[in-house]
Amino acid sequence: MKKRIAILGSTGSIGVQALNVIRNHSDLFEAEVLTAHSNYELLIKQAIEFKPNTVVITNKKYYSIVEEALSAYDIKVFAGDKSMAEVMEMSTIDMVLTAVVGFAGLRPTLRAIEYGKTIALANKETMVVAGKLVTDLAREKQVPILPVDSEHSAIFQSLVGETFNPIHKLLLTASGGPFLGKTFDELKGVTVADALKHPNWVMGKKVTIDSATLMNKGLEVIEAKWLFNVNCDQIEVVVHPQSIVHSLVEFQDGSLKAQLGLPSMELPIQYAFSYPARLTSNLPKFNFANYPQLSFLQPDRETFRCLDLAYMAMEKGGNVPCIMNAANEIAVQNFIEEKIHFLDIPVLIHDIMSNGGFIENPTLDDLLETDFEARIKAQQWIDNKNKL
Ligand code: NDP
Ligand code: MG
C-alpha cells in the first residue's frame, strides 16, 4: 500500500520538491492532502495532477476560486487555518510533511501528532517555538519526527546504527549565506535583492533572509537541541561555504560521522518519506573533481549577531525562543518590504527579547499569546523607528 502523505505548504519551495519526490516514486507515495496559503493557481494545478483527497487554502479569500476550479474532481476543498489543523485528523493520512513557513505550522503539527501521524519536519519554527510541547506529545503518542532540514537529516542519517552510543557533540554546518566574509560596515549598504542571492540553495524568501543573517543557523541549533535531545553546549556551528558536508556528529571516542552530498532538498525529503529505506534518485551525483577543496571556518558571531541571540534564547528557554521567533518573523517581513535595514534585524530581535515577560513552562495558549504580543511589540518598534 502506498504511503499517503499530507503536505502542509505544497506550493512552497519544500512543498514543490516533495511533490517531485512523490512524482518520481508514485508506486510508493501519494499526496493525500495539499495545503497552500495564497498561491491558489499552483494549488489547483497540483490538485489536478496529484488528485489528493483534500486541499486546504488557508487564505479564505481564494476559497471560491479553488472550489470552482476543482468542482469536476473528487477532491474536498476547505479554507482557513482551522481547517488546515482539522484535516490532520483524517484517518487516511500516514505521514505529514510540515512545509509551511513560520509559526503557522505549530497548530497543525501538534494536531497531527495528537492523531498519531508520523511527522516529516521541515517547518523548523515549530520546534523553535514549542520544542518541549512537540517532543513531549510525540513521545506520549509514540510518533516519530523525521527531520527534513538538511543539517538535521545529516545528523539523523549519521546516527543510524548508533542507538546505544551517546552523542558527544553535534556540528551543524552553515554555508555562511550571501554575506560571508563581509564586515559590519560593508553590511550597511546591502539590499533585499543582495540578501536573497543565496550562493548554494534556492529556498523561500523567509529562510533565505534567515540564512543571510545567520538566524537560520540559530533556529537550527534550537531545532537540533529538541530533535536529538542534547544540551545547549553540545551544539556547535561551523561555516562550510560549499554546503557539501551537511552536518556531523561527534561521538565519545572522538569519531566524527557526517553525511555528504550535493545541496538538494529532494534528498532529505525523500529520505524522510522512505526511512529507513533508501530509494533511487535521478539527482546529480557528487564528483570530487568539481570540489577540489572543502573548507571550514568559524562563524563571525560579532557581525552576524542573530546566531548568539538564538543561543541566548535557547539557554533561557521557556517562552524566550517563541519571543525571538516572532520578532524575527516581523523583522524579516519588514526587511523584505524595505521598511527596516538588514542591520536593524538583530537589534530589533534583541530589544523584543529583552522586554518580554518570562514563562518557564509555557502551555500552547501561553505560546499563542507570547507570539501575538511579541509581534505587536516588534511592529511598534519598527513604526517608532520610522517615525524618528
Ligand atoms: P516557502 O515560502 O517557499 O513556502 C511556504 C509555504 O507555506 C507555501 O506553501 C505557502 O503558501 C505556505 N504558507 C505561507 N504562509 C502561510 C500561512 N500563514 N499559513 C499557512 N500556510 C502558509 O517556504 P520554504 O518551502 O522555503 O520553507 C518552508 C519551511 O521549511 C520553513 O520553515 C523553512 O525554514 C523550512 N526549510 C526550508 C528549506 C528550503 O530549502 N526551502 C530548507 C530547510 C528548511 P503560498 O505559497 O500558497 O502562499
Ligand atoms: Mg537547513
User: Is position 310 within any domain?
Assistant: no
Residue 122 Cβ inside 6 Å of ligand 1? The answer reads yes
pLDDT on residue 201: 86
User: Is position 311 within any domain?
Assistant: no
Tally of structural domains, the chain: 3
User: Is position 309 within any domain?
Assistant: no
Residue 19 Cβ inside 6 Å of ligand 1? The answer reads no
pTM given for the model:
0.98
The mean pLDDT values, 10 residues at a time, for the chain of 388 residues are 98 98 98 98 98 98 98 98 98 98 98 98 98 98 98 98 97 97 96 94 95 98 98 97 98 98 97 98 96 97 98 98 98 98 98 96 98 98 92
Residues whose beta carbons lie less than 5 angstroms from ion ligand 2: 149-151
Instruction: Take atom 16 of ligand 1 and give the residue whose Cα is closest.
Output: 37
Cα distances from 360 to residues 319, 363, 367, in angstroms, run: 7, 10, 11
- Give the domain range for residue 52: 3-147
Residues 374 and 276 in one domain: no
Residues 189 and 221 in one domain: yes
Residues 161 and 69 in one domain: no
Residues 352 and 208 in one domain: no
Residue 153 Cβ inside 6 Å of ligand 1? The answer reads no
pLDDT on residue 388: 77
Residue 373 Cβ inside 6 Å of ligand 1? The answer reads no
Question: Which of 125, 147, 169 is the endpoint of a domain?
Answer: 147
Q: Which SS3 state, helix, strand or coil, does residue 126 take?
A: helix
Residues 159 and 292 in one domain: yes
19: CA distance to ligand 1 center in Å? Answer: 14
CATH number of the domain where residue 333 is located: 1.10.1740.10
Could you say which ligand is closest to the alpha carbon of residue 19? 1
Residue 120 Cβ inside 6 Å of ligand 1? The answer reads no
pLDDT on residue 38: 98
User: Is position 287 within any domain?
Assistant: yes
Instruction: Take atom 7 of ligand 1 and give the residue whose Cα is closest.
Output: 100
**Which residue is listed with cell 517581513?**
333
Mention every residue, 6+ apart, whose C-beta is less than 8 A from residue 55.
33, 34, 35, 36, 43, 47, 66, 70, 75, 76, 77, 78
Q: What is the rounded (10 degree) CA torsion for 297, 245, 284, 17?
A: -100
The end-to-end CA distance of the chain, in Å, is: 62
Residues 237 and 133 in one domain: no
Question: Which of 115, 147, 179 is the endpoint of a domain?
Answer: 147
- Ligand 1 atom closest to residue 39's alpha carbon, by position in its atom list: 47
Residues 17 and 138 in one domain: yes
With beta carbons less than 8 A apart as the criterion, state whether 47 and 34 touch: yes
78: CA distance to ligand 2 center in Å? Answer: 31
Omega of the bond leading into 276 within 30 degrees of 0 (cis): yes
Taking the C-alpha atoms of residue 208 and residue 99, their distance in angstroms, rounded to an integer, is: 15
Taking the C-alpha atoms of residue 48 and residue 52, their distance in angstroms, rounded to an integer, is: 8
150: CA distance to ligand 2 center in Å? Answer: 5
Mention every residue, 6+ apart, whose C-beta is less than 8 A from residue 379.
330, 334
Nearest to 266 by CA among 26, 3, 19: 19
Could you say which ligand is closest to the alpha carbon of residue 39? 1
Residues 242 and 198 in one domain: yes
